[in-house]
Structure 1
Amino acid sequence: MSLAEKICLSAAFLFFMTGLLTGIWKYRHMARSEDASSPTYVDIAHRSSLLYSFAALLLAAFSAHSVFAGWVNVVAAVSALTFFAFAIGTYIVHGLLQDTDNQLRRPHRLGKRLLPPWMTGVFMMLLILGEVGGSLVLGMGAMLGIWQG
């Protein structure tokens, strides 16, 4: 098994466990709430963790079939997975702070603090490049591997 596959499977496990644990957190909010609801970002953290766990499995499969050099696959996997993790972490922080129901609403907040206006935009651009770029590299490597092989 390649290093990229090991990294992706490890991330899948961590994201899946995060999804299960945030599911307990979500349930506790729902059980105590008058309308059986949880804060927006508690719900988003739960769902996104589960979805990203399966995305990480998909990246592992792409890694297994990629024709690109091992280091290229590792860089691509780490790039995508790092931003998956940052996204989940951001959702968890907003869930803990209960500071917003829309992290992209201006002015951007983190707890009681206002973030510089450029910060969220720069982070989102880096996230797009990291997630889409890393996934594209692994996916293209896999497509070349299965269709040329």
Structure 2
Amino acid sequence: MTGEQVKRTARSETRQVAALPWRLENGRRRILMITSRETRRWVIPKGGRMVGLTDAEAAAQEALEEAGVKGQVHDQSIGVFRYLKRLKDDSERRCVVSVYPLEVLIQLGAWPEAHQRERRWMTFAEAAEAVHEPDLAALIRDFDATPLAD
């Protein structure tokens, strides 16, 4: 790709942030997956960047709104994935999403989008299999293989 092609590609992608909500269960990590509102596919909480918040803080806010969880978000992204977002007018927008791990400490019984989504704790293998984006599946598998910090 030429420099100009890279600039055009970068400009045409919408930047988003996502949380990778996880917890320890019987000594093994599990990930909290949610369904998307429109297609009901399994995804992780994600959304646009937010003025006044770091990307990691915005990812944590998405996790609260979409999945009803709070916790300790890591300030470093573990990578990015790309997907095509279908808009209401049936057009598509390319999105690039930075992913921030969030260790879940609190799971709420009621949260802003509870009536719009399903949430489910899965093994990392189940989650990687459930998502449609190959880059996201790879990020999930790679994070699962990363040793826990002390």
TM-score > 0.5, shorter chain as reference: no
Q: Which has the higher helix share?
A: 1
**Higher Rg:** 1
- Give the TM-score range, shorter chain: under 0.3
Q: Which has the higher strand share?
A: 2
Q: TM-score, normalised by structure 1?
A: 0.25
Q: TM-score, normalised by structure 2?
A: 0.25
